[in-house]
Amino acid sequence: MNTLSFTTEQAAAMAVIACHEAQGDLSSLAVALDAGFDAGLTANQLKEALSQLYAYTGFPRSLNALGTLQRVMEQRGDIEMGPESSPMPASYDALRQGTEVQTRLSGQPFDYDFCPAEDYYLKAHLFGDIFARDVLTHADRELVTVSALSGLEGVMPQLQAHVRGALNMGVTDDQLAAIPEALKAAGLAAEAQRCQAAIATVKGQPQVASPSSFPLGQPNDAYAKYFIGQSYLAVLDTVSGLCNVTFEPCCRNNWHIHHHAVQVLTCVSGRGWYQEWGKEPVELKPGTVVTVPAGTKHWHGAAADSWMQHLAYFTAQQPGFRNEWLEPVDDEQYSKLK
């Protein structure tokens, strides 16, 4: 169960199928399912993958995807059904089986004591009942999961966890790297970048791709002394000065002041924080817009568990415009942000 059963072509097709399922893009999913059948995937492999994804993307999208699969099968007429799942033995214990699988996937025992009911669902149902079905190997299932989560905003911690899980379940480095390549080849550029970002983080490598459709740019070396952690800068428009700034997890800039200009920040990816001196922190999520009044002491950066990108530009500039860089954000203060 700990090796990928797909051929290279099948794995690429399955990655695209899972990503379209996660996004609810049924017209693109139909095209991808056709390509999957052409690559030799069986109907039961596809049913299994789309059924599993209800646990990650919800019943509505899983059911819609299965309905799309049914229509594609009716239109083609040349479908290979493939083997069905083997019956469970009489001694099968879903909770015990799921606990063992979850421990292998996580690399260590995991107990979600905060919500015992959710802990039980994860162990007994997801990693027990679903992962016990042998139509797909555990490595196959993690490829499906990584591909689907790459299609969703705001789930980077889970995506990174399943990148680790894929490696623990036998997906090789080359097979893992092929997932974003398949997504990119299918026109899913932002999703491919998100997947590459998760892989780079898990492997402790420098960020090599933007986690969104906005460009990563270059390491922000000119201002590195004013940042804790690694940031990247992409100038989007030289006339307006519009830039995209990317922060790795835990990265934030020092307290600073923009004299004689108003700064506008728009979060476009991930999660982070903005705080003005003497005020409570403001969570940054995609779509959050912050206007920084001239002369206001403030800082901004990523959350501890997420990359974050924001667009930034200045307006209402007056003579004497300058940036004043101040002390770093205190580690103890930052660690309290959740």
Tell me how many domains the chain contains: 2
> Residue 265: which of 297, 300, 294, 235 has the closest Cα?
300
C-beta of residue 132 within 8 angstroms of C-beta of residue 97 = yes
Structure-block tokens of residue 277: 């001196």
**Residue 2: predicted pLDDT:** 83
Does residue 63 lie in a domain region?
A: yes
Amino acid found at 28: S
Distances (CA, A) of 243 to 80, 163, 189: 51, 30, 20
Does residue 306 lie in a domain region?
A: yes
Cα 177 from Cα 311, distance rounded (Å):
29
**Residue 208: predicted pLDDT:** 64
CATH number of the CATH domain containing 78: 1.20.1290.10
Same domain, residue pair 190 and 225: no
Last residue of a domain, one of 202, 226, 249: 202
pLDDT in tens, the chain (338 residues): 689 999 999 999 999 999 999 999 999 999 999 999 999 999 999 999 999 999 999 999 999 999 999 999 999 988 999 999 999 999 999 999 999 999 999 999 989 999 999 999 999 999 999 999 999 999 999 999 999 999 998 898 899 999 999 999 999 999 999 999 999 999 987 788 889 889 998 998 876 677 788 888 889 999 999 999 999 999 999 999 999 999 999 999 999 999 999 999 999 999 999 999 999 999 999 999 999 999 999 999 999 988 999 999 999 999 999 999 999 999 999 999 97
Using the structure block, give the residue that is written with the tokens 């019956």.
87
> How is residue 25 annotated by DSSP?
-
C-beta of residue 179 within 8 angstroms of C-beta of residue 150 = yes
Distances (CA, A) of 226 to 144, 249, 305, 324: 40, 16, 21, 10
Does residue 236 lie in a domain region?
A: yes
**Residue 319: predicted pLDDT:** 95
**Residue 156: predicted pLDDT:** 87
Last residue of a domain, one of 176, 202, 228: 202
The dihedrals phi and psi of 261, each to the nearest 5 degrees, come to: -165, 150
Structure-block tokens of residue 286: 């995609």
**Residue 328: predicted pLDDT:** 97
Q: Is 73 helix (H, G, I), strand (E, B) or coil?
A: helix
Same domain, residue pair 64 and 153: yes
| Number of helical (H) and strand (E) elements in the chain, helices listed first | 12, 13
Last residue of a domain, one of 153, 168, 202: 202
Same domain, residue pair 173 and 229: no
Same domain, residue pair 160 and 18: yes
Does residue 211 lie in a domain region?
A: no
C-beta of residue 242 within 8 angstroms of C-beta of residue 217 = no
Cα 26 from Cα 21, distance rounded (Å):
7
**Residue 1: predicted pLDDT:** 63
Distances (CA, A) of 260 to 44, 102, 294: 64, 55, 5
Cα 253 from Cα 257, distance rounded (Å):
11
Same domain, residue pair 227 and 190: no
Same domain, residue pair 147 and 271: no
| Residue 301 β-bridge partners | 252, 273
> How is residue 170 annotated by DSSP?
T
| Residue 189 β-bridge partners | none
Same domain, residue pair 184 and 260: no
Instruction: Record the pTM.
Output: 0.70
The boundaries of the domain holding residue 237 are: 218-335
Structure-block tokens of residue 91: 């001694």
Structure-block tokens of residue 26: 């049924």
User: What is the tens place of the pLDDT at every residue in 287-308?
Assistant: 999 999 999 999 999 999 889 9
Amino acid found at 81: M
Same domain, residue pair 69 and 184: yes
**Residue 154: predicted pLDDT:** 80
Same domain, residue pair 284 and 157: no
C-beta of residue 255 within 8 angstroms of C-beta of residue 327 = yes
